[in-house]
Amino acid sequence: MGVVAALVRAAFLVDGVYAEASRSYGLTPQQGQLLCVLMSQPYGMGELGETLGLAKSSLTGLVDRTARRGLVRREADQRDGRAVRVGLTEEGAALAEKFYAETCRRMEALPSGLSGPERDRLAVLLSRVVVDNAVPEVFVEAGEVLGPK
């Protein structure tokens, strides 16, 4: 298999695992992604749109639906009174931690057929692709300490 086919098929594999984990918590994959991004800190809508790669209208709808479930809240931006920041509610933070742990567990199982050195090499190569393409940090490393909420 060539690199293009391998990357596309790996993306489908990862998307499928993410979707399954989301469903098991009653979330859409986009809501799961939103919760994971917000685990480290609240974000302004502009930053959040850039990080998630969503247009303003799509992001607004996602935040609205997730807020109606009581998982996120809008709060005034301390630095700019005209702007709002989106953060996790207490319920959202608890669900985000469970969802994050389950998603990490499922993702960790994907390369289970590789040896330790092969897994390490895969991580190095994928990290280079991610860094070289300036992919935003939408999911932190399993076990990484998360910043303040």
What DSSP line would sit under 93-128, residue for residue?
Answer: HHHHHHHHHHHHHHHHHTTTTS-HHHHHHHHHHHHH
The string of pLDDT tens digits covering residues 45-88 is: 988 998 888 898 899 999 999 999 999 999 887 777 678 899 99
- How many domains is the chain partitioned into structurally? 1
pLDDT score recorded for residue 142: 62
pLDDT score recorded for residue 149: 36
pLDDT score recorded for residue 145: 41
In a domain, 145, yes or no: no
pLDDT score recorded for residue 144: 55
Q: What is the CATH number of the domain that holds 81?
A: 1.10.10.10
Mean pLDDT, the chain, integer: 89
In a domain, 146, yes or no: no
pLDDT score recorded for residue 146: 47
In a domain, 110, yes or no: yes
- Three-class SS of residue 136? coil
pLDDT score recorded for residue 97: 94
Please tell me the pTM assigned to this model. 0.82
In a domain, 70, yes or no: yes
pLDDT score recorded for residue 82: 75
Task: For residue 46, give its domain range.
Answer: 3-132
In a domain, 38, yes or no: yes
Select from 16, 14, 25 the least CA-distant residue to 97.
25
pLDDT tens for the chain, 149 residues: list them: 899 999 999 999 999 998 999 999 999 999 999 999 999 899 999 889 988 888 988 999 999 999 999 999 998 877 776 788 999 999 999 999 999 999 999 999 999 999 999 999 999 999 999 999 988 777 766 655 444 43
